[in-house]
């Protein structure tokens, strides 16, 4: 069992589960199924505890985990860096407005009596002041969170995966991820088929199985209808942060 050489650190509702499931098809990737939450919630348990959660690997295999909340956790960059400065980091990002609605949809499925998306978005609806303390909105300010990581890791050690392209061209995005991890490009078009009902790509064969595998019921939930004026307000709010993020990463994600 080895400490992970690569971690998917974010973002919540960006497509991290899909990326991990797709990556596990690769014979040289071994990953923890559940989210360990070590660098945010369980840090005091120590590295030996963390290492023990990891799967056994052979020489040349990469150990991975994913916990999407790391990206927004203040202490996570320093903690991961002190484990190993060479850790490769992967962030799956998607349009922050859609991400926020997806985040809300997930909460709604667990707590049907929460306030509306619209009422949670604003501190004050009349002035249109957006409540950035609401985590659904806070998480999408990617540029702000990224600054914290760049204090500890060079930008070249962080790969930014487009959540949108992970759906429209999974093999293309997986190609970039395999290159970044120094793996042979084994996962290709032949591994995927598009499930029209879910609107998601699915694996023809999952890891250790000969059956096709789509992500479970909790993925690809139908979003509630959100007031278009609120969506527009959020687009305007995120635009400058998105632009800054594009500059920082050298990638235009096409959200605007």
**Domain boundaries defined on the chain:** 6-249
Question: Would you call 1 a catalytic residue per the annotation?
Answer: no
pLDDT value at residue 215: 84
Is 254 marked as binding a ligand? no
Is 188 marked as binding a ligand? no
Between CA 199 and CA 182 the distance in angstroms is 30
Residue 209: pLDDT band (50, 70, 90) is: confident
Nearest to 66 by CA among 87, 45, 95: 87
- pLDDT surpasses 80 at 162: yes
Give kind and range of the element (H or E) at residue 235.
Answer: helix 228-249
Q: What fold, for 6-249?
A: Rossmann fold (3.40.50)
**CA 200 to each of CA 87, 138, 145, 188: distance values in angstroms, whole numbers, following the listed order:** 30, 26, 28, 16
Mean pLDDT, residues 49-63 taken together: 98
Between CA 76 and CA 32 the distance in angstroms is 18
- pLDDT surpasses 80 at 210: no
Nearest to 53 by CA among 27, 178, 61, 42: 42
pTM comes to 0.95
- pLDDT surpasses 90 at 121: yes
pLDDT value at residue 220: 75
Average pLDDT, the chain: 95
- pLDDT surpasses 80 at 148: yes
Tokens, residue 47:
């590295």
Residue 213: pLDDT band (50, 70, 90) is: confident
Mean pLDDT, residues 151-161 taken together: 98
CA dihedral 159, 253, 197, 21 (to 10 degrees): 0
Of the candidates 13, 66, 198, 204, the residue annotated as catalytic is 13
Between CA 14 and CA 98 the distance in angstroms is 9
Is 45 marked as binding a ligand? no
Is 220 marked as binding a ligand? yes
């Amino acid at each position: 069992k080895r400490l992970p050489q690569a971690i998917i650190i974010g973002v919540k509702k960006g497509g991290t589960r899909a990326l991990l499931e797709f990556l596990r098809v690769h014979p040289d990737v071994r990953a923890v199924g559940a989210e360990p939450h070590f660098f945010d919630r369980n840090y005091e348990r120590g590295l030996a505890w963390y290492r023990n959660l990891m799967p056994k690997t052979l020489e040349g295999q990469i150990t991975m985990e994913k916990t999407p909340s790391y990206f927004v956790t203040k202490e996570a960059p320093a903690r991961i860096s002190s484990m190993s400065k060479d850790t490769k980091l992967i962030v799956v990002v998607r349009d922050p407005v859609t991400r926020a609605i997806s985040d809300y949809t997930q909460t709604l499925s667990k707590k049907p009596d929460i306030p509306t998306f619209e009422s949670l978005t604003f501190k004050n609806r009349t002035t249109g002041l957006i409540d950035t303390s609401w985590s659904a909105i806070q998480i999408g300010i990617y540029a702000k969170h990224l600054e914290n990581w760049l204090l500890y890791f060079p930008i070249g050690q962080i790969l930014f995966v487009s959540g949108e392209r992970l759906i429209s061209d999974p093999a293309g995005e997986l190609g970039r991820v395999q290159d970044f991890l120094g793996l042979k490009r084994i996962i290709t078009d032949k591994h995927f088929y598009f499930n029209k009902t879910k609107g998601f790509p699915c694996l023809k064969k999952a890891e250790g199985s000969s059956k096709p595998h789509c992500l479970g019921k909790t993925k690809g939930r139908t979003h509630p209808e959100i007031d278009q004026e609120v969506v527009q307000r959020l687009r305007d709010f995120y635009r400058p942060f998105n632009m800054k993020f594009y500059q920082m990463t050298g990638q235009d994600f096409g959200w605007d």
